[in-house]
Amino acid sequence: MTNKKHIMIVGAHCGDGEIQAGAIAYKYAKAGHKVTFLHLTAGEKGNPPHISIEDYRKQKMAEAEKAAKILGAESITLDYNDAELTLNDEIVTRVAKLVRQLKPNLVITHWINSMHPDHALCPRIMEAVQMKAGLPGFDLDGLAPHYFGILHSENWEDMEGYVPDIFVDVSEEFDTYLEALSQYWFIMNSSSFRYFDYYKALGTVRGCVSRVKYAQTLKYPVGGNVRRGNIIPGFPLE
Ligand SMILES: [Zn+2]
């Protein structure tokens, strides 16, 4: 028996998952757990003026590979088009097959409210994947059913209603996290948002309120039938 888990971090675009949970990913990878970044699109339409969308797609996939390697993780980029994600059976089935093959125990993904339609759809797609991969009634190329839990993580584009539940101490992982982020052109050079400054400051602020140097946060799903445990957390009966 092993207690090693597989954490899959699912982002709409290359860079989202690393930004949101890269330090957490590294903390778990260092401890011997498996970590996979799954990017539903490359995020290629944020291309700089001198690079074509097709070339920028390749560049972002290469940046994702480098970032994942630094964080001790795998990187998978699907070929959906940036800013054109839809919640439909084709993507749900495709990702459900991937989940049945890779067997993640936990999926960390975007929060449900976002200014970016791809971001807002990503957790909805993963909820549908959770059901399709988990239910034995779906025959997906004969692959065994597999169920995973979902947590949300923090992204500046997804802040409406995001109130963190879990603060993960990433003080020892934060420098490596910043090194991974620096592999991305947009994080270091975007003229529309100061990504690097923001996420360095966010890790600092989240660390302050949890009395550590740096922290990264997670949020439980919300909804009428969400179960977070069967006793009061932190109060074992014996
Ligand atoms: Zn994004």
Burial 3-29 (b: 16+ CB within 10 A, else e): eeebbbbbbbbbbbbbbbbbbbbbbbb
Angstrom distance (rounded) from CA 150 to CA 95:
15
> Residue 193 pLDDT > 90, yes or no?
yes
CA of 203 to the centre of ligand 1 (A): 19
- What separation in Å is there between the alpha carbon of 13 and the centre of ligand 1? 5
CA 197 to centroid of ligand 1, rounded, Å: 17
Q: Note the pLDDT of residue 227.
A: 74
Span 149-168, average pLDDT: 97
* Ligand 1 center from residue 25 Cα (angstroms): 18
pTM: 0.95
Give yes or no for residue 104 having a pLDDT over 60: yes
Ligand 1 mean position to 40 CA, how many Å? Answer: 10
How many angstroms is it from 33 CA to the middle of ligand 1? 25
Distance 16 CA to ligand 1 centre (A): 5
CB 21 within 8 A of CB 199: no
**Predicted pLDDT of residue 230:** 84
Confidence band of 1 (pLDDT split at 50, 70, 90): very low
Q: How confident is the model at residue 63 (pLDDT cuts 50, 70, 90)?
A: very high
Instruction: State yes or no: pLDDT of 232 exceeds 90.
Output: no
Question: Could you read off the pLDDT of 40-62 as tens digits, one per residue?
Answer: 999 999 999 999 999 999 999 99
> Coil, strand, or helix at residue 174?
helix
Model confidence at 132, pLDDT cuts 50, 70, 90, reads very high
Q: What is the Cβ-side half-sphere exposure of residue 167, based on CA atoms within 13 angstroms?
A: 17
Would you state the pLDDT for residue 228? 74
